[in-house]
């Protein structure tokens, strides 16, 4: 039996992006929406996250626009001291569940189909009952395109031999008491979180080995704290980066200038970062991480045994009773960029750098308020995903170009001004006495900085 559902929108994926998009439609339109997800509850990858995961941006601007997440508290203790609270994974999951149950479903306009698979032929099938749904929708919204992967969703990419024990970080809290040494494989956000978790639980730094195939530039979380009391910091930071680009005579010089004005950190001052993944840390977290003496820079792990790791560039002996923790999933894989609006299909992508959920809300606002497809796409040009260090410049170029277009669209400017989830909304507040004069300069700076950033990248390509 096929159940037929008529709906204005079919949204595939109830992760953060699908939820943020739908929230705008509920607030700003009268549309009906069917949401399909193969998980049993909303929140996407947060359902599979390790138990000690936290947002790495502040709760104050994460989630859906209509519903605050957290209490906008500034942490007084711990290594995030001085910055806004960071929701834990379970808070994020509970939050999206509440948004679904207390806002979306009671609106009477949302039909939610959990544990249902959307198939390439357009059909929707329940994974438990086998019921088929035929959703006749005017528009299809792909909220799966970013395709986040976390370590617990797949086996390790390297071989685990001869009885070595290798687990995703999800198992670390339960298993840690049984081991005396820990090898953390991967240096992205998950690897950072896992090292900090072990240190916070009292593991001695010398008992941790950290496999760091690449060093990455890290954001100083303090400089991306949203909110009025941080407005001048966030604005000044943005301006410093643009000025750094204008003054730099090479990509390396640009990074040194950004480093000097405290917008980025590097883990080891002696090692030039080759990556940038949008991860944030505080100064206190960085101090802790730097206490780990055994940092293995021999490329990627090929195989682990109870006594050694085999890596691209050599072998590393491991102590007896080592627990390997696999933190090496590539959270955001590069996929070709698509038009966000293409006929009756909307593909949610990042339109502000490092801000997927925000971007989905932004696209929802554009969908709710504008009709002309070309104009909508001009406002929603995808920003590259962050991988290599130079992507920082690539992202900054597209991000800045987008910002210039956004400033020309009143429906966008007023949404940003009022937006809870806009990390940078304070810098758009022309009426804000703290930043008003700086904003005047911002447009001119962007105009100067964009071609300069491109020239720096071109110069590096020419020299390669």
Ligand X SMILES: Cc1cc2nc3c(=O)[nH]c(=O)nc-3n(C[C@H](O)[C@H](O)[C@H](O)COP(=O)(O)OP(=O)(O)OC[C@H]3O[C@@H](n4cnc5c(N)ncnc54)[C@H](O)[C@@H]3O)c2cc1C
Q: Which residues bind ligand X (CB under 6 A)?
A: 12-18, 36-39, 44-45, 49, 53, 55-57, 62, 117-118, 143-144, 146, 148, 150, 189-190, 331, 355-357
403, 406, 408, 409 alpha-carbon torsion, rounded to 10°: -170
- Cα angle 285, 291, 295 (rounded to 5 degrees) comes to 105
In the complex, least distance from residue 462 CB atom to ligand X, rounded to whole angstroms: 34
Name every residue whose Cβ is closer than 8 Å to that of residue 346 and which is 6 or more positions away in sequence: 21, 139, 140, 141, 142, 340, 363, 367
* CA-to-CA dists, residue 221 to 133, 193, 197, 230, 417, angstroms: 44, 14, 18, 12, 22
Q: Report, in Å, the least distance between residue 281 CB and ligand X.
A: 12
Report the distance separating Cα 198 and Cα 175, nearest Å: 12
Residue with the two structure tokens 């840390």: 281
We find the least distance from the C-beta atom of residue 367 to ligand X, in angstroms, to be 16
Task: Using the minimum distance from each CB to ligand X, give the nearer residue, 117 or 132.
Answer: 117
- Contact status, residue 23 vs residue 64, Cβ threshold 8 Å: yes
Q: What minimum distance in Å lies between the beta carbon of 18 and ligand X?
A: 5
In the bound complex, what is the minimum distance in angstroms from residue 311's beta carbon to ligand X? 24
Separation CA 350–CA 364 (nearest Å) = 12
Least distance (Å) between residue 146 CB and ligand X? 4
Do residues 363 and 380 touch, judged by C-beta distance below 8 A? yes
Q: Which is nearer to ligand X, 123 or 377 (CB)?
A: 123
Nearer to ligand X, 17 or 432 (CB): 17
Q: By C-beta, is 122 or 314 nearer to ligand X?
A: 122
- Considering the complex, state which of residue 185 and residue 309 has its C-beta at the smaller distance from ligand X: 185
Distance (Å, whole) CA 32 – CA 325: 44
**Identity of the residue, 60 or 231, whose beta carbon is nearer to ligand X in the bound complex:** 60
């Amino acid at each position: 039996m096929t159940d037929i559902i008529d709906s204005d929108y079919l949204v595939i994926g109830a992760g953060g992006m699908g939820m943020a998009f739908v929230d705008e439609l509920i607030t700003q339109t009268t549309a009906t929406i069917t949401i399909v997800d193969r998980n049993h509850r909303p929140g996407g990858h947060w359902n599979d996250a390790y138990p000690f995961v936290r947002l790495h941006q502040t709760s104050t601007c994460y989630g859906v626009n209509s519903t605050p997440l957290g209490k906008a508290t500034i942490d007084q203790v711990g290594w995030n001291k001085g910055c806004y609270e960071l929701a834990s994974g379970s808070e994020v999951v509970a939050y999206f569940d509440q948004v679904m149950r207390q806002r979306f479903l009671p609106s009477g306009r949302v039909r939610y189909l959990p544990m249902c698979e959307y198939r390439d032929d357009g059909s929707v099938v329940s994974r438990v009952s086998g019921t088929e749904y035929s959703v006749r929708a005017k528009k299809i919204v792909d909220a799966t395109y970013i395709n986040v992967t976390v370590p617990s969703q797949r086996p390790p990419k390297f071989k685990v031999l001869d009885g070595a024990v290798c687990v995703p970080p999800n198992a670390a809290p339960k298993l840690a008491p049984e081991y005396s040494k820990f090898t953390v494989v991967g240096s992205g956000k998950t690897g950072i979180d896992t090292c900090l978790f072990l240190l916070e639980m009292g593991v001695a730094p010398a008992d941790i080995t950290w496999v760091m195939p690449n060093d990455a530039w890290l954001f100083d979380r303090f400089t991306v704290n949203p909110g009025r009391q941080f407005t001048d910091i966030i604005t000044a930071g943005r301006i410093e980066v643009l000025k750094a680009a204008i003054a730099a005579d090479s990509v390396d010089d640009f990074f040194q200038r950004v480093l000097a004005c405290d917008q980025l950190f590097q883990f080891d001052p002696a090692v030039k970062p080759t990556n940038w993944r949008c991860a944030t840390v505080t100064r206190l977290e960085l101090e802790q991480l730097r206490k780990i003496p055994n940092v293995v820079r021999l490329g990627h792990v090929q195989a682990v045994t109870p006594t050694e790791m085999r890596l691209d560039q050599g072998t590393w002996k491991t102590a007896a009773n080592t627990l390997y923790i696999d933190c090496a999933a590539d959270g955001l894989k590069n996929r070709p960029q698509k038009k966000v609006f293409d006929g009756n299909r909307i593909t949610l992508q990042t339109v502000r750098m490092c801000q997927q959920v925000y971007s989905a809300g932004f696209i929802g606002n554009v969908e709710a308020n504008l009709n002309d497809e070309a104009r909508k796409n001009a406002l929603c040009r995808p920003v590259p995903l962050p991988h290599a260090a130079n992507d920082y410049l690539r992202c900054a170029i597209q991000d800045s170009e987008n910002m210039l277009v956004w400033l020309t669209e009143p429906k966008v400017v007023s949404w940003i001004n009022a937006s809870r989830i806009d990390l940078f909304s304070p810098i758009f507040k022309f009426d804000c006495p703290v930043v008003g004069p700086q904003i005047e300069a911002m447009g001119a700076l962007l105009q100067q900085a964009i071609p300069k950033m491109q020239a720096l990248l071109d110069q590096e390509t020419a020299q390669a």
